[in-house]
Structure 1
Amino acid sequence: MFTGIVQGVAEIDHITEAPGLNTLAIRFPEGTVEHVTTGASVAINGTCLTVTRQESNILFFDAMQETLRLTTLGDLGEGDGVNFERAARIGDEIGGHLLSGHIHTTADIVEIVHSENNVTLWFEVPHDWAKYVFAKGYIAINGASLTIGEVAGNRFNVHLIPETLRATTFGTAREGQRVNIEIDSQTQTIVDTLARMGYDQPAR
């Protein structure tokens, strides 16, 4: 499990392509991968991956074709920055909200609005997933636990303070960029339960 509190930005060192999977070699900041062992889970842009080996501060991860297809990991190239979070341990503070590291869908950044003390990012999700997006609700974007601001159809925004921009890859976000989305599990459960009970039908 993860908390959605991004622990830093790592960099794609190189990618090795093989039939059926890509091996991502990711260089982490000094001091952030101490006591990591083979088999440990790390969220890379919100996607739970397993460490296959380690060379100093470079960790290696295998991503299958299905993972590359369903997430933005297939878009990555050498030198790209990624958000990372090591798996939570029992007793850790939950500063965001609980995440599984399983990506539900992707969204596109459709607008970036700069103001004096923050940046507002607008995202567009596939229509099938918009039913889980509510103003003031939780959502994970590239592994970061964020609070939804406004919702308009299948678009929503988040407001980011300078510290979030500094500590994550959102500081270099650009319009047209795809991001990974993990819907809040409690929200999904409630919406799906109400739908099964028929409460998603329009009033007559």
Structure 2
Amino acid sequence: MFTGIVQATCEVVSIHKAAGLNTFEVAMTPKLTQGLVTGASVANNGVCLTVTKILNDKVFFDVMEETLALTNLGNTSVGDHVNIERSLTFGTEIGGHILSGHVHTQATVKAVSNTAEHYNIELQVDSKWMNYIFYKGFVGINGCSLTVGKVSDSGFMLHLIPETLKLTNLSQYKVGDKINIEIDSQTQVIVDTVERILAKKQLLNN
């Protein structure tokens, strides 16, 4: 489990491609690798990956074919930086919201507005996922817990503060790029439950 508070952006220094998976080698800081062990879970752009090897602050992850297809890790190249968060430790402050590291879908960057007053990103997603995305609600964006701005039938707006831009890789994204999306699980459960109840009542009334 994760909090959506990105700890660092780290460079992908190599990608070894094999049948059915890619092995990512990510350069981390000594602070991030302190106490990290093989088998631990680390979020890379919001995707929960298992550590397979640690070598001189280089951390290795095996990324399965399905994960490559369903997330933007499939478009990641050597030299790119990914958002990194280690697993949640109970007893410490939680500043974001609980994320599982299981990406639901990808959003396409529709527009970027960077002015002296603001930095806004407009995202477009499949309309079925907009049932779970609400104005002022939370959503995981490349593993970063963010508040939703204006919403439409096909997407939503993000209003990013300088601190978020400094600590994450979101400033690197341009129109047409793909960003990993994890919706809030509690919101999904509530919406799905209400829809089932309403559908059942409608069926009984017919």
The answer to whether the superposition gives a TM-score over 0.5 is yes
Gapped runs of 5+ residues in structure 2? none
Residue 145 of structure 1 corresponds to 145
Note closer, same or farther for the CA distance 1:136–1:52 as it changes in structure 2 (3 Å cut): same
Q: CA deviation at 1:156?
A: 0.1
Q: By percentage of residues, which structure has more helix? A: 2
Q: CA deviation at 1:118?
A: 2.8
Q: CA deviation at 1:108?
A: 0.5
Separation in 1 of the partners of 2:201 and 2:119? 36
Residue 24 of structure 2 corresponds to 24
Residue 166 of structure 1 corresponds to 166
Matched residue SS, 1:31: helix
Q: What amino acid is aligned across from residue 108 of structure 2 in structure 1?
A: D
Residue 3 of structure 1 corresponds to 3
Q: CA deviation at 1:57?
A: 1.2
- Give the number of aligned pairs: 202
TM-score relative to the length of structure 2: 0.94
Matched residue SS, 2:190: helix
1:75-114 counterparts in 2 under 5 A? 75-114=75-114
Separation in 2 of the partners of 1:177 and 1:161? 20
User: Is the counterpart of residue 73 in structure 1 residue 69 in structure 2?
Assistant: no
Separation in 2 of the partners of 1:200 and 1:99? 30
Q: Is the contact between residue 117 and residue 162 of structure 1 (CA under 8 Å) also seen in structure 2?
A: no
| Larger deviation, residues 45-54 vs 169-178 | 169-178
List per-residue Cα deviations over 1:12-53 (Å, max 9, x = no partner).
101001111110011113422111100010000000000000
Q: CA RMSD in A?
A: 1.6
Q: What amino acid is aligned across from residue 171 of structure 1 in structure 2?
A: S
Separation in 2 of the partners of 1:26 and 1:125? 28
Gapped runs of 5+ residues in structure 1? none
Residue 177 of structure 1 corresponds to 177
Residue 41 of structure 1 corresponds to 41
Separation in 2 of the partners of 1:169 and 1:185? 24
1:189-204 counterparts in 2 under 5 A? 189-198=189-198
Note closer, same or farther for the CA distance 1:27–1:196 as it changes in structure 2 (3 Å cut): same
Q: Is the contact between residue 127 and residue 155 of structure 2 (CA under 8 Å) also seen in structure 1?
A: no
